[in-house]
Amino acid sequence: MSGVGAEQTAEIAAKVEAFVRDIVVPYERDPRRDHHDCPTEELVAELKEKARAAGVLTPHILGDGRHLSQRETAIVLRASGLSPLGPLALNTAAPDEGNMYLLGRVGSPEIKARFLRPLVEGHARSAFFMTEPADEGGAGSDPSMMRTTCRLDGNHWVVNGRKAFITGADGAQVGIVMAKSEATDGTGGACMFLVDLPDPAIRIERVPNTIDSSMPGGHAVVAIEDLRIPADQMLGQPGEGFRYAQVRLAPARLSHCMRWLGACIRANEIATDYACRREAFGKTLIDHEGVGFMLAENLIDLRQAELMVDWCAGVLDAGQPGGTESSMTKVAVSEALMRVADRCVQVMGGTGVTSDTIVEQVFREIRAFRIYDGPTEVHKWSLAKTIKRDWKGRQG
């Protein structure tokens, strides 16, 4: 990813920010929500059409197929995140953004034409079927616990299993399914497949209510029963599924940080405006140290989060795997943004816990972000393993 340079990146980001602030933000009060309080397909489609007309749809992927560098993407996705609806409008939201990245890196020309193009053009949504029900001992933060199976039957693979917390599965048109083969003929190990959705063999059992509400389709529990997939719809090679997952997950963690950094910047703007206007005990709230110091701490956390994102993006741009760096960034940024969101609610008092502004939603979304793409504790555990391994290496 060679990128486009600082000047063009700044132009793209400025267009994205103007679009989000001027066009998307007024839609935050739009009542078109499903019973999980997620934006409806109708609302998302309307926003995408406006983004397409404004020339800012999928702004991190250029018309010739080139992808912005990770550092450039960070600037653009941060601007798209200034509203919880921004990533949906601009086609930079999870899981689509991560799935587009993966297909662009690993997909064959045929897979790119059939599955990637509709995603990039904003005509389809996607879902990534990896996580499995915890009560069945399935894969979650530890993908090696994969229980969903696949077996080769002629020129088709047959997949069976159950998946959980599959973001956007309800209403998606493209699915990336992970399963594990126990074969010993060279087709064993974890595999990834592309499928058209909906498919009668992929049945949504339920969509639980969750603390977050920014993603259409929610986070479904899914049963996969005798799903037959043509062999040419395998992504890459048999047994490479876990490696491909890492290709996707390291930048996807970083993209979450980018988008939610934008959301917290906006929440802090709202809290700051409130503190500078609201008076209590003879002066504006910001002139009370207890409030002013919280906003000062927000600026520090936001700046540190921005620097962590830029550092990790630079590592990925240098062609390094970035697993360790993305784990550190995910922990540092998600925890910092949680502090920012919490302070914004506190500064605004009773108003902060209402839906009168997006501050309350941002708080809920960031709380979920601390778990999605790996809880803080899992990343710390992984980092501790790296520390121990490096220590042993130094001992000779």
Residue 102 lies in a domain: no
Residue 78 belongs to domain with CATH number? 1.10.540.10
- CA–CA separation, 296 and 165 (whole Å): 36
Residues 305 and 382 in one domain: yes
Residue 17 lies in a domain: yes
- CA–CA separation, 337 and 298 (whole Å): 9
Residue 104 lies in a domain: no
> Which tokens hold the place of 11?
């132009």
Residue 207 belongs to domain with CATH number? 2.40.110.10
Q: What is the model's pLDDT at position 185?
A: 84
Q: What is the model's pLDDT at position 63?
A: 85
Residues 271 and 199 in one domain: no
8 Å CB contact between 134 and 221: no
Q: What is the model's pLDDT at position 187?
A: 78
Residue 116 lies in a domain: no
8 Å CB contact between 163 and 183: no
- CA–CA separation, 145 and 283 (whole Å): 58
How many separate domains does the chain show?
3
Residues 386 and 311 in one domain: yes
> Residue 367 sits in which domain range?
242-394
Residues 248 and 346 in one domain: yes
pLDDT in tens, the chain (396 residues): 568 899 999 999 999 999 999 999 999 999 999 988 999 999 999 999 999 999 999 999 998 888 999 999 999 999 999 999 999 999 999 999 999 999 999 999 999 999 999 999 999 999 999 999 998 998 888 888 999 999 999 999 999 999 999 999 999 999 999 999 988 887 789 999 999 999 999 999 999 999 999 999 999 999 999 999 999 999 999 999 989 988 888 889 999 999 999 999 999 999 999 999 999 999 999 999 999 999 999 999 999 999 999 999 999 999 998 899 999 999 999 999 999 999 999 999 999 999 999 999 999 999 999 999 899 999 999 999 999 999 999 997
Residues 168 and 273 in one domain: no
- CA–CA separation, 49 and 333 (whole Å): 32
Residue 313 lies in a domain: yes
Q: What is the model's pLDDT at position 335?
A: 98
- CA–CA separation, 201 and 193 (whole Å): 14
8 Å CB contact between 252 and 60: no
Residue 98 lies in a domain: no
Residues 66 and 131 in one domain: no
